[in-house]
Amino acid sequence: MNAADQLFQIAREYVDAAFDIADRYLESTECQEFVVSLYEVDIAVVVPSGFEESATLADAFCSADPNALVSWRLVVIDSSAGYEPPRRRWSPALNQPTGQLRLSDESIRIAIDPIVQVVWVMDRLRKCVLAFVPSLLEIPRWWLATPLRLGMSWIADVLDSEFVHGAAVGRDGKGIVLAGPSGVGKSTLSLKLSLAGWEFLSDDFFLMKETTARAIYRRAKLNSDSLSALRCQPLPTFVESETPTKSIIDVWTHDEVAHTAQLNIQAIAFPSLAPFSGLQPVDRARAFTELGPATLAGLQGGSLRSFSRLAQIINSCSLYRFGVIGALDEISGALEAVRVA
């Protein structure tokens, strides 16, 4: 048996042990379910009952038919209740740099989130993903803006679709992605445009299949001063204690913010903190270096198929860069022109 086969055998035993723990957890813990829809598949997300954090988690997602015939399950396990994941039997170095254990056979997947220490386990045959959370009571508030996205992205990968890091806005079913690293103004601009007549789909991560973007999360995360300027009061329970200048709002509960669940993407625009001087074309290689790293870093490296999907998205869109400092009506007019082109 070669080294790759040995690692897979060890990983297979780890996955089986993790599901044994999950079975005991579900037998002894009162849980509740809610349904999340990823295009043609519906996922039953199982969370422990009785936690405010469990309700907060459920409220993060766009609504789906609670009576849908689910194909997958995603089980959230509160490890602080005595149900810790199995101990690794391989070198932690094999999880570097992204946290995912790279296996030749992707029927199973394992990852350890290096920031919040959530341990992820997927078994494709069982059609189930496990998320061992160190403590639901101590999970960072910012994690609840786009929660469970790694496990969701694994299921999306099976469906040949991709979670993409970016804001998305549009009108009449046609949209534009605002992409780039954190801090360049994507969230603020997407909400400003939504207050000015555009429809909001996402400010952080959304699901993309071919040229169609679909909203998964209801929330937006942005600087509190930006939130005040947008006339939307922050929800006090969602103000992050770790970074008090950041706030999370449930966009779908604010009547003044128009929103939509799905858009056909026409263009990708890359904002920067510079004066607005029109939209400048971007070549496809530059676009990939802007969209790819931000997306793949947020998904702990993604999969090899992520690269081809992102390339397909880029090849199907018009590409621009622009500065966000300037008159909103000028920016909106320029984006509207490429949206309908």
State which of 5-19, 190-204, 247-261 shows the largest mean pLDDT.
5-19
Round the average pLDDT of the chain to a whole number and report it: 89
Residue 230: per-residue pLDDT: 66
Residue 127: per-residue pLDDT: 97
311-335 average pLDDT score: 92
Residue 40 pLDDT exceeds 90? no
Residue 228: per-residue pLDDT: 66
Per the DSSP assignment, residues forming a β-bridge with 220 are 249
Percent of all residues in the chain with a pLDDT value above 70, rounded to a whole number: 94
Please work out, in degrees rounded to the nearest 5, the angle formed at the alpha carbon of residue 312 by the alpha carbons of 307 and 315.
Answer: 120
Residue 71: per-residue pLDDT: 92
The 3-state secondary structure of the chain, one letter per residue: CCHHHHHHHHHHHHHHHHHHHHHHHHHHCCEEEEEEEECCEEEEEEEECCCHHHHHHHCCECCCCCCCCCCEEEEEEEHHHCCCCCCCCCCHHHHCCCCEECCCCCCEEEEECCCCCCEEEEECCCCEEEEEECCHHHCCHHHHCCCCHHHHHHHHHHCCCEEEECEEEEECCEEEEECCCCCCCHHHHHHHHHHCCCEEEECCEEEEECCEEECCECEEEEEHHHHHHCCCCCCHHHCCCCCCCEEEEEHHHCCCCCECCEEEEEEEEEEEEEECCCCEECCHHHHHHHHHHHHHHHCCCCCHHHHHHHHHHHHCCEEEEEEEECCHHHHHHHHHHHHHC
179-205 average pLDDT score: 87
Residue 72: per-residue pLDDT: 96
C-alpha span between 155 and 41 (Å, rounded): 9
CB 122, CB 161: distance < 8 Å? no
Residue 52: per-residue pLDDT: 82
